[in-house]
Structure 1
């Protein structure tokens, strides 16, 4: 009997971790963006995925269509009033968004977002709500406070259950339709005044880290355009802000746009790159287990193509029906 019982016991011991890994797995979705000069369609057959370094089956890969996307344009109200020269670029961008994309216009103030125009597919109405920033130095308090609060209170999103006890009530009226891919485009100098000095030796901000985690939990890809604040000037402050914006982009699967350490003459090239990124983004569906964030890594065998995702994803995140 010992020769029979021992193999069974060993099988039970080796199988248990697999069963535990499977137990509690829930359907999960994440944004995946192609990074290629000549993008080709992404699908289940040419994509591989690892969750917490374990190979994971991809169940579906669906391209994000305009009607299934939301773009939150968040403008720092502390930007220099000279930003008004770029207002026409903003208007052109909002009016030119593909039909069906929902756009929100918000201004970052005092650690939160003042919504001037809730999510709408009426791009002309949204463009009409654009204005020159107030230009008061540090008015956002910190763009990362604003991003955190906005991600946790994503307008129209239903509050999460016990899986995310930190979830808060939605901010503003719900948008029409069901689940959609979420994108944020921030225009800010990126400086975190609450983290003290902008010295190169002080670039570890807990507030930036929190903003990244909150965006990851909400499944939001964060893009940004660097533009100087009315009160923070000079190469060191600009470098600090750009470093933080790049950190947020890398953590959430977005991109940080900037032109050296000076303000861009035109925002149009950045807007064009942003729209291209959205058009080359997919929603991948897979199973994941865990109560909080798990690490995700995606790759493809498509030629000369890399995949960009958030670094972490919350099991149970749903971005598409």
Structure 2
């Protein structure tokens, strides 16, 4: 949703409700949620009353629920590949290419690689899928070439090559998630937390596929488990999904991409206003519940709050 539309939505409540929420210091925000119907391909019809939202434990007022399809289907997607990944990924290159080619015209794609702590783009955003695929190649396969995947994800968020807020932002990250700068499972890993905060601030949903790096530590059971757990925290925080099959490289990416496509086709923009203390932009905890039978909700656990947003015309 455009910022202009977001601000309009934030003030399009009853005068009484607006006055009450203004007293509580309500701040408008939004989040992407995925709602899958169990046992059916049909997309549910959802309304604001179906959701309950809390920000930092405080109940939020839901302003709108917008299906992200039709004229709101716009999507910017980056496929970010770890340059230290094992070259045996070659057998999965065709899976990646077919996924990219299957995207609709409303999706702009860019291919990037993790290199020395940065997200290095091989192609810019383009709706021409064949042009995007010119940047797809085997990773370098050099141990430690990415530095840390979390450095690279932070860089991706900070340097997202588009200023458009009219469309969703999603990334498909292919890496083992192991952080050589903090080689143990630590939910408070500062590099992980920075990647979460930067992604949430940039409004990016991070999806990830597990693939072993060439490094020795990430090939151990402990290293693999550590990387998978850290990456799960990142995808959960941003509202994405993490794909892996045990501790081994998956034989095929196809089932992962098929599931991801279903998720992309069943996403909604949830706009809400929540009481929020402080006058500085910050990342807050988010809890979303959905009261609709036979559905499964995937939502972010973090949200970016921007105090001081001025309604249009004021």
Q: Which bracket does the TM-score occupy, shorter chain normalised?
A: 0.7 to 0.9
Kindly state the Cα deviation for residue 18 of structure 1 after the two structures are TM-superposed: 6.4
Kindly state the Cα deviation for residue 270 of structure 1 after the two structures are TM-superposed: 0.6
Provide the residue aligned with 1:166 in structure 2: none
Please state whether the residue corresponding to 1:118 is helix, strand or coil. Answer: coil
Please state whether the residue corresponding to 1:298 is helix, strand or coil. Answer: strand
1:26-105 map, 5 Å: 26-37=27-38, 38=40, 39-65=43-69, 67-105=73-111
1:74-153 map, 5 Å: 74-153=80-159
Provide the residue aligned with 2:160 in structure 1: 154
1:297-308 map, 5 Å: 297-308=287-298
Question: TM-score, normalising length from structure 1?
Answer: 0.81
CA-based RMSD of the aligned residues comes to 2.2
Q: Structure 2: how far apart are the matches of 1:132 and 1:42?
A: 42
Kindly state the Cα deviation for residue 178 of structure 1 after the two structures are TM-superposed: 4.8
Runs of 5+ consecutive residues of structure 1 not aligned to the other structure = 1-15, 158-176
Range with greater deviation from structure 2 (54-63 or 253-262): 54-63
Question: What do residues 186-238 of structure 1 show as CA deviations (whole Å, max 9, x unaligned)?
Answer: 00011000003x4x6x5642211111111112221111000001123122221
Provide the residue aligned with 1:21 in structure 2: 24
Provide the residue aligned with 1:209 in structure 2: 193
Q: Structure 1: how far apart are the matches of 2:286 and 2:214?
A: 38
Question: What do residues 87-129 of structure 1 show as CA deviations (whole Å, max 9, x unaligned)?
Answer: 1111111111122111111001000011011111111111222
8 Å contact from structure 1 (residues 249, 255) kept in 2: yes
8 Å contact from structure 1 (residues 58, 284) kept in 2: yes
8 Å contact from structure 1 (residues 203, 240) kept in 2: no
Provide the residue aligned with 1:189 in structure 2: 176
Range with greater deviation from structure 2 (26-35 or 139-148): 26-35
Show structure 1 runs of 4+ deviating over 6 A.
Answer: none
Provide the residue aligned with 1:311 in structure 2: 301
Provide the residue aligned with 1:237 in structure 2: 223
Q: Structure 1: how far apart are the matches of 2:136 and 2:110?
A: 10
Question: TM-score, normalising length from structure 2?
Answer: 0.82
Please state whether the residue corresponding to 1:105 is helix, strand or coil. Answer: strand
Q: Structure 2: how far apart are the matches of 1:61 and 1:313?
A: 16
Kindly state the Cα deviation for residue 34 of structure 1 after the two structures are TM-superposed: 1.2
Kindly state the Cα deviation for residue 69 of structure 1 after the two structures are TM-superposed: 1.3
Q: What is the number of residues matched between the two proteins?
A: 279
